[in-house]
Amino acid sequence: MAKKYFITTPIYYVNSVPHIGTALTTLAADVTARYQKMRGREVFFLTGTDENGTKVKEAAEKAGKDPMAFVDEISAKFREIWPGLYIEFDDFIRTTEPRHFATVQEFFRILQSKGHIYSGTYEGWYDVGSETFFKETDLVDGKSPDGNEVRWVKEDNYFFRMSAFADQLLAHIEANPKFILPESRKNEVVSFIKQGLRDVCISRTNPGWGIPVPGDESQVVYVWFDALINYVAATGWPKPGWEAYWPAEVEWMGKDILTRFHATLWPAMLMGVGLPLPETLVGHSWLLMGGEKISKSKGNVVAPLDLAKELAERSGCSDAVAIDAVRYYMAAILPIETDAVFTNDEFDRKYNNDLANDLGNALNRSLAMSHKFVGGAIPDAAVEAQAVEAVALAKSRYEAAMADFRVNDAADAALGVVRFLNKYIDTRAPWALAKAGDPALPSVMRSMLTCLRAAEGLIRPIMPKTADEVASQLGLPALTDWDRIGDESSLPAGVALLQPKPIFPRLDLTKKDEPKKMEPTKTQTPTPKPALTPDEPAIEISIEEFAKVKLKVGRVLEAEPVEGSDKLVKLQVVIGSDRRQIVAGIRKNYTAEDLIGRQVIVCVNLKPAKLRGVESQGMLLAAIDTDGGAILLQPEREAPEGAGVR
């Protein structure tokens, strides 16, 4: 049996229903799956729900429900919402299923038989919200690093010797550059491992909910140890045939569950059992709202299907297209290195600019002119070289983006050929060619339709229903074979084109009188800020003098404190093709983990200087807070590394 292309999402806690944050990860996995299917791979896409944790049991009790009835109800909502977003998973696993129970217990037995599990006493802090154990030194103001309440726990439990796998993990990461993506996240993991891995408590006293430890029913398996095993449980391991699925080609997740769990505990568990590791772990950043991660516990959630429904009502587009628009938005802003911010205004802007103005306009113009100038059928003519090159470039950019699981860059590549098409129409001016009787007109019209057909194929993994509609208006079957994108055979001459039908009616953004339903509100009293001392009158300079200061966008790849200083941090910053070491006095406000992956503004033509004996080859721009600390400046949204600032 041929190896399937195996894609996973995390299995989601069933303490509440899905929101746009969990949908972000699942959408990324779905786009990956659809793309790989177009490339001819047989895909196995796994998602599911995590149902055995302490907080799940407590949520059920709070709701006054039996735990199994509670998880049945919430899990069913996940299975309902994902198809509603056109997410096509192949398997949906629940950790309360017998197949998962059996695999977890076998996994535990094998590790125990190999000496990787031992008995001991755990005494320390436990965060029920994230189901994570923490040391005293991990706590921040008496809470977990996630801001959750912690409980002091003292129990006789079982431990996994994770500390024994540190060197193997580091060697694997070094030998496999794409094991952890993006690179900034890999650096965080390496830093975490080098700080010293400790053995992990992998059981809890049995509360009457969870998977019993084999041979000791007084204990249940720790929920994270249990949950991670779902990835191999779905393959049927250890029964014959699991090799057709495992290892996974890619495991998608948010950055918060990468370092401690998926990039250290999970691979160490696999090494202990003797199973191969996943090829790639992708830990994307967060979608924020009001400066906070979108989270059920914070109550600042956006329901993706509600967002689509509201868009359909406000714009007049179809329900299917509105869902695709939400998919496109999530794909286009998918945060990789740095967090992205959700606002209704930005959602509306992307809908109008990218979909109504660019894609919708290109489709309507091309079809209308085809009916006017070439009889409403695909002309039999050569495609102009610049159109061939534009399609090839977009396709190449898309492939490069997906090779690194950068769904946002793939979305941009897909829209790139659309933007080219709109400029091409303006430049080649078919109306002028028709008026002049220019023989180039059929080639220009075929070139326009070729770009449209290519755009249909490129957007298909992201907006499948919209792609179907574009194909329909072209009078053609869906383009589902990646190799045929840009190929002449995908656009047979003589096929009758439909009359253009607008897919994306524009939103009227001048109407601000009605509040938008998706913007959650919070009632809180603003914290008063100390008044700032007015600055002395500034010395005026000319624009020519200001132009001497060269500012560019960079991205922090590595960060570490400067030894012997409580203020300085040493950064490795990529600025376009340039890589620089910069020392900044920002340690009071930022940890190394806060900085890795962040975009910053750098003065690049400042003379190098030495701070505490460490050379600094530039300066970061920052505002000054009321305590004299730094607030780093960064672009409002992702900008190309090396972009100029003015």
The answer to whether 499 and 489 are in contact (CB under 8 A) is no
Among 44, 460, 32, CA closest to 284: 32
Residue type, 457: G
Q: What is the mean pLDDT of residues 203-231?
A: 95
Element housing 341 (H / E): strand 340-341
For residue 531, the model assigns a pLDDT of 42
The answer to whether 8 and 46 are in contact (CB under 8 A) is yes
pLDDT higher than threshold 60 for residue 468: yes
d(CA 378, CA 490): 11
For residue 20, the model assigns a pLDDT of 87
Give the pLDDT band of residue 515 (cuts 50, 70, 90).
very low
Q: What is the mean pLDDT of residues 587-599?
A: 72
d(CA 473, CA 359): 13
For residue 587, the model assigns a pLDDT of 85
pLDDT higher than threshold 90 for residue 548: no
For residue 637, the model assigns a pLDDT of 67
Give the pLDDT band of residue 592 (cuts 50, 70, 90).
low
Q: Which residues pair with 48 in a beta bridge?
A: 93
What tens digit of pLDDT does each residue of 90-135 get? 999 999 999 999 999 999 999 999 999 999 988 878 776 666 777 7
For residue 574, the model assigns a pLDDT of 80
d(CA 351, CA 354): 6
Q: What is the mean pLDDT of residues 472-489?
A: 97
Tell whether the torsion through CA atoms of 6, 9, 10 and 12 is positive or negative: negative
d(CA 538, CA 44): 63
pLDDT higher than threshold 50 for residue 371: yes
Give the pLDDT band of residue 597 (cuts 50, 70, 90).
low
Q: What does the DSSP 8-state code read for residue 165?
A: G
pLDDT higher than threshold 60 for residue 524: no
Q: What is the mean pLDDT of residues 187-206?
A: 95
Pick the range with the lowest mean pLDDT from 245-249, 361-365, 368-372, 528-532: 528-532
Place of tokens 């829209």: 415
The answer to whether 46 and 30 are in contact (CB under 8 A) is no
Helices (H), 114-200: 166-175, 183-194
pLDDT higher than threshold 80 for residue 596: no
CA 434 to chain centroid: 46
What tens digit of pLDDT does each residue of 241-300 get? 999 999 999 999 999 999 999 999 999 999 999 999 999 999 999 988 866 776 655 566
d(CA 413, CA 571): 31
pLDDT higher than threshold 70 for residue 523: no
| Length of the chain in terms of residues written | 646
Neighbours of 624 (CB within 10 A): 10
Q: What is the mean pLDDT of residues 222-238?
A: 96
| All structural domains of the chain | 5-293 (3.40.50.620), 362-490 (1.10.730.10), 543-645 (2.40.50.140)
For residue 511, the model assigns a pLDDT of 62
For residue 360, the model assigns a pLDDT of 94
Q: What is the mean pLDDT of residues 191-216?
A: 94
For residue 534, the model assigns a pLDDT of 47
Tokens found for residue 461: 């993994």
pLDDT higher than threshold 70 for residue 152: yes
d(CA 488, CA 473): 18
pLDDT higher than threshold 50 for residue 496: yes
Residues 6+ apart with CB under 8 A from 551: 601, 602, 603, 604, 621, 644, 645, 646
pLDDT higher than threshold 50 for residue 446: yes
In the chain, % of residues over pLDDT 90: 69
Among 44, 59, 49, CA closest to 79: 49
Q: Of 49-58, 419-428, 515-524, 594-603, which has the strongest mean pLDDT?
A: 419-428
For residue 47, the model assigns a pLDDT of 98
For residue 294, the model assigns a pLDDT of 67
Coil, helix or strand for 314? helix
Give the pLDDT band of residue 136 (cuts 50, 70, 90).
confident
Give the pLDDT band of residue 530 (cuts 50, 70, 90).
very low
For residue 302, the model assigns a pLDDT of 85
Element housing 397 (H / E): helix 385-403
CA distance to 225, 293, 295, 528, per residue, from 261 (Å): 9, 19, 19, 39
Average pLDDT, rounded, for the chain: 90
pLDDT higher than threshold 50 for residue 141: yes
Among 533, 524, 596, 611, CA closest to 565: 611
What tens digit of pLDDT does each residue of 12-59 get? 988 767 888 889 999 999 999 999 999 999 999 999 999 998 878 888
For residue 128, the model assigns a pLDDT of 66
Residue type, 165: F
- Angle at the Cα of 551 from the Cα atoms of 545 and 552, rounded to 5 degrees: 155
Among 347, 342, 346, 329, CA closest to 287: 342
Residues 6+ apart with CB under 8 A from 105: 211, 212, 213, 214, 221
The answer to whether 580 and 172 are in contact (CB under 8 A) is no
pLDDT higher than threshold 60 for residue 529: no
For residue 508, the model assigns a pLDDT of 84
Helices (H), 250-343: 266-273, 304-315, 319-333
Between 638 and 255, the more confident residue is 255
Q: What is the mean pLDDT of residues 417-430?
A: 95
The answer to whether 635 and 553 are in contact (CB under 8 A) is yes
Give the pLDDT band of residue 539 (cuts 50, 70, 90).
confident
Among 261, 270, 250, CA closest to 179: 250
What tens digit of pLDDT does each residue of 331-356 get? 999 999 999 999 999 999 999 999 99
